[in-house]
Amino acid sequence: MIAIIPARSGSKGLPGKNIRLFNNIPLICHTIECAQKSKNITRVVVSTDDDEIASISRNYGAEVPCLRPAKLASDTSMAMDAYLHMIDFISQKSLTSIEAFLALLPTVPLRESIDIDNAIQIYRDKDADSVISVTESPVPIYWYRKINAEGILVDYKNDFDATLNRQEVEITYIPNGAVYVFNTEKLRSSREYYLEKTYPYIMPKERSIDIDTLSDFEYAEYLFKKNKC
């Protein structure tokens, strides 16, 4: 199966984060190396609009068949369009259709190859439309609040029993960006990640850090070094 790593140049939260040194190598290279260790990944492909990211990725053994068009690399561009652009490019060059593929965000450096392989196994066993890695939500959803038009703090939703203990509340999950497995045509036709047969792959919190800010980066690096001790 093909793994696509999306890595555009325009990060606002932490500029240059995809090639910022994380444990002495560019951040994106941790995802490249993880994908290379997977027993189910046949090709590791990077989708980027940036020549430097492309060069670094190739040096670490990933393919960059083409650069992503600028229209697919803006702040408002949808990641799925970049995925499908790369899938179509590869399909046209190889004259073969690609039934399914993975997307691996380069900002989740603590995932392991077993996470990739487990998600693929779920996809195959369940004949899924998609498999999305998730982790348990940090707090119960009924703790969430919002500020209304009058500036007052109110319940985000009003159908929760606030007297329940945390242990009594149904567990919820959030996507962590580590692994997405997609059926190509289901993604293309629906333009949705979550479909009738979308299954979760549950990951522990310590492997689910998705880097967006400098504090995320520093915490992820701390966990990485701690786990290597």
Structure token pair of residue 201: 């792959």
10 SS3 class? coil
Which among 37, 45, 46 is positioned nearest to 19, based on CA atoms?
Answer: 46
Other CB atoms within a 10 A radius of the CB of residue 58 amount to 13
**Complete DSSP assignment for 46-105:** EE-S-HHHHHHHHHTT-B--SPPPGGGSSTT--HHHHHHHHHHHHHHHHT----EEEE--
pTM of the model: 0.91
**CATH top-level class of 2-136+174-217:** alpha beta
Q: pLDDT value at position 13?
A: 76
Tokens 């369940």 sit on residue = 126
The secondary element (H helix, E strand) that includes residue 132 is strand 130-136
Structural domain spans, the chain: 2-136+174-217, 138-171
Residue 33: is its pLDDT beyond 60?
A: yes
Other CB atoms within a 10 A radius of the CB of residue 61 amount to 12
For residues 3 and 47, give the distance between their C-alpha atoms in angstroms, rounded to a whole number. 10
Mean pLDDT of 116-142: 95
Residue 88: is its pLDDT beyond 70?
A: yes
β-bridge mates for residue 21, sequence order: 26
For residues 139 and 144, give the distance between their C-alpha atoms in angstroms, rounded to a whole number. 8
Q: pLDDT value at position 159?
A: 65
For residues 91 and 119, give the distance between their C-alpha atoms in angstroms, rounded to a whole number. 23
For the chain, the average pLDDT equals 93
β-bridge mates for residue 43, sequence order: 2
Helical segments of the chain, H only: 27-37, 51-59, 79-94, 113-126, 184-190, 214-228
Mean pLDDT of 61-77: 93
Asked if residues 103 and 79 have their Cβ atoms less than 8 Å apart, the reply is yes
pLDDT confidence band for 165 (50 / 70 / 90): low
The one-letter amino acid code at 213 reads T
